Amino acid sequence: MICGFLFSILILYDIIIIVKKKGGNMLEPKEKNMGEIDSKCCNKIYIIGGIAALVVLVGSLLDVFIGMSLGGDLTGLPSTAAGRFAQFKDNWLLGLYNLDLLNLITTLIMVPAFFALFWAHRKANGAFSGLAMTIFIIGVSAFVTCNTALPMYELSLKYAAADAGQQTVLLGAGESMLARGAHGSLGVFWGFSLILFSEMIMSLVMFTGKLFSKTNAIFGFAGSSLMLLYVILVTFVPAAKTAAMAVSAPGGILLIVWIIMFTLRLFRLSREK
């Protein structure tokens, strides 16, 4: 939650700084300077957003590669705290990955990219782009709050060094963490679903606007919809986890294409005056 609020504060701070610059420029006698400063601010936002999107793209491709190498079988994930601790002992990186640490990192890095999309549409459709941005920040905050990758890893280290009595207590704490932070848990559902819902709204904003292609918007809406269906299935229909993977594969590919397309467009916008 703290990380999510920090990102919210940083975004609000950026908005305030930009608004102040624009407001200060109103006192300047030369309108040309106003336009130049505003253009520079926009360009920086688009560049930062584009760079962040590139990093997210690399992380997403890495996620796909790791998922494919592991077989993409959610039913094979340890269902108990003892199983998770054993996995951490055998391969701590795999344990962190299976508790969505990579998704957490890419989600946090996605914040500047999503803000750039909001900024691009602030004049044409400020209401819905602002709504999408707000829901996205809430979703990120919820996802950060419920993610238990690092806390579970810390517990696994304590478990390995504890005696039998302490291990029982640590197993109970681990089960509690898994109940709210494991892939497919209700806690993770709210964060994921809000983020995906915000991406659907932003895709609709992109579709009705003129800055991004309609094809780009369709990829984003379709990919987010499929991934939302995947999250619903793995959370509320545990028996359908295998079938859910068949939904997530095309959804993930569509979202990767969506990111590639809007990233290229953000860099083009950064060069426009």
Residue type, 25: N
The pLDDT tens digits for 39-79 are 778 899 999 999 999 999 999 999 989 988 887 777 778 98
Percent of the chain exceeding pLDDT 70 equals 85
> How far apart (Å, rounded) are the C-alpha atoms in residues 220 and 207?
10
Count Cβ atoms within 10 A of the Cβ of residue 164 and give its class: 0-12 exposed, 13-18 middle, 19 or more buried: exposed
> How far apart (Å, rounded) are the C-alpha atoms in residues 223 and 206?
14
Full-model pTM: 0.84
The dihedrals phi and psi of 71, each to the nearest 5 degrees, come to: 95, -10
Q: Is 61 left (phi over 0), alpha (psi -120 to 50) or beta?
A: alpha
